[in-house]
Structure 1
């Protein structure tokens, strides 16, 4: 992890301040940016999301799906948590906390939108920072790569139906056209672009050429994330200043969801007898979110000023420190884990410091 990535939370905090300040100083600029959209998809944000997503997708070789069977227990646990538990547990937590317990303390006209943002956040498993978390837990690199590739493949098909189903249960009208367009823009097209570019680079210059491009694009990806946050908070600034407690209240169900799902994945891997080097990244993949897609989808569906967009941004705010705490728990509990694991998994490959 680079120095810049290690202090990502600091840069995020500075972007919040900058966004709120710039929103007050230059409101016309932010309104012009917000108006640049097609079918409710904001074009400047789409460009920034591409800058975030494509460098991360360049790291993924979808041919790695052939390794899926090697750690089938970990794959099964992670898929179960990601797709059968996580979106539905977040929906339940959102309805419980935002729709019921915290309702008196939140703007009444944004309750459904907040719940929608939480659902969108939970419906997309992380595809990028997972590599960092896996590395910090000395995770099995081939498992991590295979799991991320498999999740990306499933997400292309399952993201829109799951979100649509859960938003429908929340009595929110779902603009299916916009939702599907968001999936195409933020998953399908970037995956195609990244894989074509990856194969071309590997064919012409080998791994060294790909590594050089990734080194150049890495900072651009993080800067695009920070620029998106400036835009978001430029529009959300008034609401944050008027009701700063909203951020803290929205963080509660997100925090519970992260620890609930990471703990569930970790324990299920232990019961199944999977290796610790697989259980660690499985727990982290099971808990983390593809917040770039979540932010983009929330903006596309409900707009910059919506509670849904704010809820997904809260996910961005707490992602790094919370996931680092999960990394700490996984590493500290390794001896306990290995004493109880049945040891049925295959022998681990040597851990890699990069994936």
Structure 2
């Protein structure tokens, strides 16, 4: 896309794409797995594995890929971002679960307490996106082609990763209830983390933040299409 985007700007857009690609999905996997009738126990294992990957591998992967792209990010900044956006919320959730379960029981925690906070994540993400778009409004209006060009590699990446994971499950003769969520979790990204880290590292007005925002807007419709693909090809796999 050299004819449409300057090299410096392309590098910053690439930084946002790297943050998206390096953050494996967690929460949304339950949605995609449910829509494809995936194995709940397997999905939980996938999510737990991705949480560990984020804690251990997110920082070195981002550091390496951004370094290859000639984008310099201090180690301490990346570490602080993961602590703020992953470690503290994870620790807070574990502590809250322990205290509430101990006091009022597991049933109250899962069916009453958790439901009170269902909309908070969505509201927080929407407010963040609104803020980013308010700062990026002029860029979007003046360069709508950039939005399309950013979306192209992000969409291709999603389709490619899904195809690789789904085909591998087919070759391994795994049941559809395993193959479908396996493909989904590989293709989906933890876009909440990517947006938060992009804003923390580069600012709300940065091209990197814009790129992660485009990722948010493209992922849901693309993933819903892949859900349809997975459901329509269920006959390719052995009976569950």
TM-score w.r.t. structure 2 length?
0.96
Report the alpha carbon displacement of residue 320 of structure 1 after superposing the two structures with TM: 1.1
**Structure 1 segment 339-354 matched on structure 2, within 5 A:** none
Q: Rate the CA distance shift 1:107–1:238 in 2: closer, same or farther, 3 A.
A: farther
State the partner residue of 2:75: 176
Return 5+ residue gaps in structure 1 as ranges.
1-101, 349-355
State the partner residue of 2:226: 326
State the partner residue of 1:160: 59
Is the CA contact 2:173–2:237 (under 8 Å) kept in the aligned structure 1? no
Is the CA contact 1:136–1:327 (under 8 Å) kept in the aligned structure 2? yes
From 65, 78, 87, the equivalent of 1:188 is: 87
**Structure 1 segment 23-38 matched on structure 2, within 5 A:** none
Root-mean-square deviation over aligned CA pairs: 1.2
State the partner residue of 1:305: 205
The CA deviation string for residues 8-31 of structure 1, in whole angstroms up to 9 with x for no partner, is xxxxxxxxxxxxxxxxxxxxxxxx
State the partner residue of 2:102: 203
State the partner residue of 2:23: 124
Report the alpha carbon displacement of residue 204 of structure 1 after superposing the two structures with TM: 2.0
Report the alpha carbon displacement of residue 175 of structure 1 after superposing the two structures with TM: 2.1
State the partner residue of 2:49: 150
Q: Does 1:222 align with 2:122?
A: yes
From 3, 9, 12, the equivalent of 1:113 is: 12
Q: Does 1:103 align with 2:2?
A: yes
Q: Structure 1 CA distance, aligned partners of 2:88 and 2:175? A: 35
Q: Structure 2 CA distance, aligned partners of 1:154 and 1:200? A: 26
The CA deviation string for residues 292-349 of structure 1, in whole angstroms up to 9 with x for no partner, is 10001111111111111011001100111110001000000000233xxxx8xxxx6x
State the partner residue of 2:113: 213
Q: Does 1:276 align with 2:173?
A: no
**Structure 1 segment 71-82 matched on structure 2, within 5 A:** none
Report the alpha carbon displacement of residue 107 of structure 1 after superposing the two structures with TM: 4.2
The CA deviation string for residues 114-164 of structure 1, in whole angstroms up to 9 with x for no partner, is 011101100011111111000000000010011101110121010010000
Report the alpha carbon displacement of residue 240 of structure 1 after superposing the two structures with TM: 0.4
**Structure 1 segment 79-98 matched on structure 2, within 5 A:** none
Is the CA contact 1:179–1:300 (under 8 Å) kept in the aligned structure 2? no
Report the alpha carbon displacement of residue 108 of structure 1 after superposing the two structures with TM: 4.3
The CA deviation string for residues 245-276 of structure 1, in whole angstroms up to 9 with x for no partner, is 11111000011000100111011011112111
Report the alpha carbon displacement of residue 226 of structure 1 after superposing the two structures with TM: 0.6
TM-score w.r.t. structure 1 length?
0.66
Q: Does 1:260 align with 2:163?
A: no
